Amino acid sequence: MSLMVPLYREKINKKKSSPNRRIAQRNTDWKKNIKLSIRTKVVIRDYFIRNISNPFQEIRRNIGLADKDIFKHILIQTNYKCTRKCPFCHYGMETPPENVDMNEDLFYTIIDQLRDINYKGRIGLFEMNEPLTDKRFNKFLKYTREKLTKAWIFISTNGDLLSVEKAEQLFKDGLNFIYSSSYDEIALKRNLKLLKEINPNYRKLINHLNRTYQSGWSSRAGNVRQFKKNTIFAPCDMIYKVLYIKPTGKVCSCYNDFYDINEMGDLNKDSILDVWFGDKFKKLREELNKGNRNCSELCSQCDYVGYGNLPKIALKWRFKNLFK
């Protein structure tokens, strides 16, 4: 008995230090040591969405499963103001047609409706505007965070109204992420300075984009005339993923709709779910699924590519549907 115990221990020790085990141990240590920054995670997530999730969603859409899906991304634009007039944007072309601020009660109703459906997706508190021009922004943000504890709240800003203190306060109030874009050299210097000075824990939560040398821009469904390209007659994934609410409370099919051409509903009268699953969205989805962008004046000018890079299997689905 006394001999057997050490022998048994030896056996266990041998087993413990077997080459396979050592390799497995090394692999676990390696994984533990990797700490991805939030910025890297965002890049990986975007890559995943474009190359894996989008094609998969296209297949789901083709077999009718996607019709029951709720949006994963909601954009709530609370005003029509910006500090700039970029030539590739609505503000560079004209003053937006309806220059109104979103009614506060309407904003809270929208957030309450999202809370009722336990929304956990992305919320952009902006779209075609500079969100920090809205003096109520922090109040709106705090309310959103309080009601939607699991949602991922983000903004896109040109940084003109951002300071280190303001940015830190936004994160304290519940913002998850900032996409900051520099459109000229002065803004670039200023935005990079902010990144240097801000608390490193918050720096990880800002993705800065240097757009000073960018030359190609989206035509926003042909609205930005100088960047207009040929219409792409393909299905569109936007209407399955994104819900865009304008300051007026109107919901449009996508954020390319400067003039409310594809108005899908009005949240002053209808609920979010009624609009999202309503007849107008349904009809538009049916038509766009066939690649028929001529179904609306807006879509007929649109060069948005849709589901992006598709693997062969999804291309097959698309090809099959051309003849339906």
Q: Which residues bind ligand SF4 (CB under 6 A)?
A: 82, 84-86, 89, 91-92, 128-130, 158, 221, 236, 238-239, 253-254, 256, 288, 293, 298-299, 302, 304
Question: Between residues 177 and 244, which has the closer beta carbon with respect to ligand SF4?
Answer: 244
CB 138 within 8 A of CB 169: yes
DSSP assignment of 54-83 equals HHHHHHHHHTTGGGGPPPSEEEE------S
For 189-202, letters b (16+ CB in 10 Å) and e give eebeebbeebeeeb
Rg, C-alpha atoms of the chain: 24
Residue 233's contacts (CB-CB under 8 Å, 6 or more residues apart) are 291, 292, 293
Q: How far is the CB of 91 from ligand SF4 (least distance, A)?
A: 4
Q: How far is the CB of 224 from ligand SF4 (least distance, A)?
A: 10
CA–CA distance, 27 with 58 (Å, rounded to integer): 35
Q: 283 pairs with which residues across the strands?
A: none
Q: How far is the CB of 207 from ligand SF4 (least distance, A)?
A: 15
Q: 263 pairs with which residues across the strands?
A: 252
Q: How far is the CB of 87 from ligand SF4 (least distance, A)?
A: 9
> The tokens of 15 are what?
């087993």
Question: Between residues 84 and 280, which has the closer beta carbon with respect to ligand SF4?
Answer: 84
CA angle 88, 91, 93 (to 5 degrees): 65
Question: Between residues 148 and 181, which has the closer beta carbon with respect to ligand SF4?
Answer: 181
Question: Between residues 49 and 86, which has the closer beta carbon with respect to ligand SF4?
Answer: 86
Question: Between residues 97 and 149, which has the closer beta carbon with respect to ligand SF4?
Answer: 97
**CA end-to-end distance (rounded Å), the chain:** 78
CA–CA distance, 144 with 151 (Å, rounded to integer): 9
Residue 3, SS3? coil
Q: How far is the CB of 124 from ligand SF4 (least distance, A)?
A: 13
Q: How far is the CB of 144 from ligand SF4 (least distance, A)?
A: 21
Q: 181 pairs with which residues across the strands?
A: 209
Question: Between residues 66 and 148, which has the closer beta carbon with respect to ligand SF4?
Answer: 66
CB 130 within 8 A of CB 82: yes
Own/partner pairs for 20-29, CB < 8 Å, 24+ apart? none
Question: Between residues 93 and 192, which has the closer beta carbon with respect to ligand SF4?
Answer: 93
Question: Between residues 245 and 298, which has the closer beta carbon with respect to ligand SF4?
Answer: 298
Q: How far is the CB of 295 from ligand SF4 (least distance, A)?
A: 9
Question: Which amino acid, 223?
Answer: N
Q: How far is the CB of 288 from ligand SF4 (least distance, A)?
A: 6
